[in-house]
Amino acid sequence: MTTLLALLAGALLAMALVMLRRHRLGFLGQRPEDYAAGETFDLRRQLRGPLLCDGVIYGPTGRVASRFTGHFDVRWQGNTGVMDEHFTYDDGSEQRRSWTLTLGNDGGIRARAADLVGEGRGVQMGSAVRLQYRLRLSRDQGGHVLDTTDWMYLAPNGTIVNRSQFRKFGITVAELFATIRPREAT
* CATH code, domain with 100: 2.40.128.20
Q: What does the pLDDT average to over 127-140?
A: 92
Looking at residue 35, its pLDDT comes to 73
Residue 86 buriedness (CB in 10 A; 0-12 / 13-18 / 19+):
middle
Q: Which domain holds residue 3?
A: 1-30
Question: Does the pLDDT at position 186 exceed 50?
Answer: no
Q: Give the other-Cβ count within 10 Å of 179's Cβ.
A: 13
Looking at residue 177, its pLDDT comes to 97
Say if CB 52 and CB 186 are below 8 A apart: yes
Task: Verify that 59 and 104 share a domain, yes or no.
Answer: yes
Say if CB 172 and CB 60 are below 8 A apart: yes
More confident of the two residues 184 and 150: 150
Question: pLDDT of 39-72, one tens digit each?
Answer: 788 999 999 999 999 999 999 999 999 999 999 9
Q: What does the pLDDT average to over 73-79?
A: 96
**pLDDT above 90 coverage of the chain, percent:** 67
Task: Verify that 109 and 153 share a domain, yes or no.
Answer: yes
Q: Structurally, how many domains does the chain consist of?
A: 2
Task: Verify that 12 and 49 share a domain, yes or no.
Answer: no
Question: pLDDT of 1-30, one tens digit each?
Answer: 677 766 776 666 666 555 555 555 577 777
Mean pLDDT of the chain: 88
